[in-house]
Chains A and B, each alone.
Chain A
Amino acid sequence: MIFLTVGTQFPFDRFVRAVDNIFDQGLIDEEIFAQIGETSYKPHNFESVASLEKRDFDERVKKASSVISHAGVGTITVALKNNKPLLVMPRMKRYKEHVNDHQVATAKKFQELGHILAAYDVKDLPDGIRKLKNFIPRKRKASPVAITERIRHFLNSLQD
């Protein structure tokens, strides 16, 4: 099962429609379950829900063979944590999919580091989905400890 997710803020019709079309072309041989948020396009090849409780979301990622999504950090985080192959397509401001194009930069950065695959346009999606099968994400070594220590130190300093 492939888990498709687009987050909850702003529609992402371009992406959901494209994946549905790719399914029509027979290029996806697995079931898909989708979380499509405010997207108005309803896919006919797979089941979709608007939103998921956080716990259900995490469970969906855990059970999925791979994940395809917008380039949101929430999804990237959960996918990396579970070592799941992830293909992202960044939301773009020009299609009113987000307030700016920061998802393009996020996608590029995490792609360069070998953590994810990225498609920057619907025409790159079929190739990305094909590569996803054999993609082994590079593990990310970052840990929040340095930041939590810094914040703890700061909070302590307020009480001296």
Chain B
Amino acid sequence: MVLSKNIKMKICLTASAGGHLTELLKLADSWQQYEVFYVSTANMVAKKLKQYGPTYVVGECNREHLLQVILVLVRCIRVILHERPNVVISTGAAVGCIMCFLGKLLGAKVVWVDSIANVGWVSLSGRMVRHIADLFLVQWPEIAEQYSNVEYVGAVI
């Protein structure tokens, strides 16, 4: 998918509330010129995110609670069909992973920045997204050496 310069790219920025979102927001310089929207997991971050763009709160989920995963998945599907982003950028975790896969299904490019919290290996979400990511960054050089198609260029904090 190559877009003409005249068509404005729409970017989905997605991360769980907490450290993942802290890391994502530190990358804000990356997407200044583009139209963006946010997908996160908790209402307490919505107020802050709404200053930067349209914001969707889809709820928290993790692999321990399958029913919750399904509920969140349905909400994510609604968001992605409504917004149809050209690119999904995520720092994790579960919700970011879901949005990356849904975005990919609709033809979006996927950028994953694995959290700096993962110091020895790529996160579980990251290991799944690695197979579909168009750009996959990790924040420790020793992790990049262990995987193919994984880049280290620096750390957010």
Binding site for B on A (CB under 8 A): 7-9, 51-55, 72-78, 80-81, 99-100, 102-103, 105-106, 108-109, 140, 142-152, 154-155, 158-160
Residue contact B30 to A148, C-beta cutoff 8 Å: yes
Residue contact A159 to B154, C-beta cutoff 8 Å: no
Binding site for A on B (CB under 8 A): 1-5, 9, 11, 16-23, 26-31, 34, 42, 44-45, 47-48, 60, 62-64, 86-87, 89, 109, 111, 113, 115-120, 123-124, 134-135, 137, 139-140, 151, 153-157
Report Cα–Cα, A53/B43, bound state, in Å. 9
Contacts of B42 in A (CB 8 A): 8, 51
A-B contact pairs, 9 of them (CB 8 A): A8-B18, A73-B19, A77-B23, A80-B157, A144-B157, A150-B137, A158-B1, A159-B3, A159-B5
Residue contact A74 to B5, C-beta cutoff 8 Å: no
Contacts of A99 in B (CB 8 A): 62-64, 124
Contacts of A76 in B (CB 8 A): 19, 157
The secondary structure that dominates the A interface is: helix
Report Cα–Cα, A100/B135, bound state, in Å. 25
Residue contact B151 to A158, C-beta cutoff 8 Å: no
B146 to chain A, nearest CB (A): 14
Kindly report which residue of chain A lies nearest to residue B1, judged by CB atoms.
A158
Contacts of B113 in A (CB 8 A): 147, 151
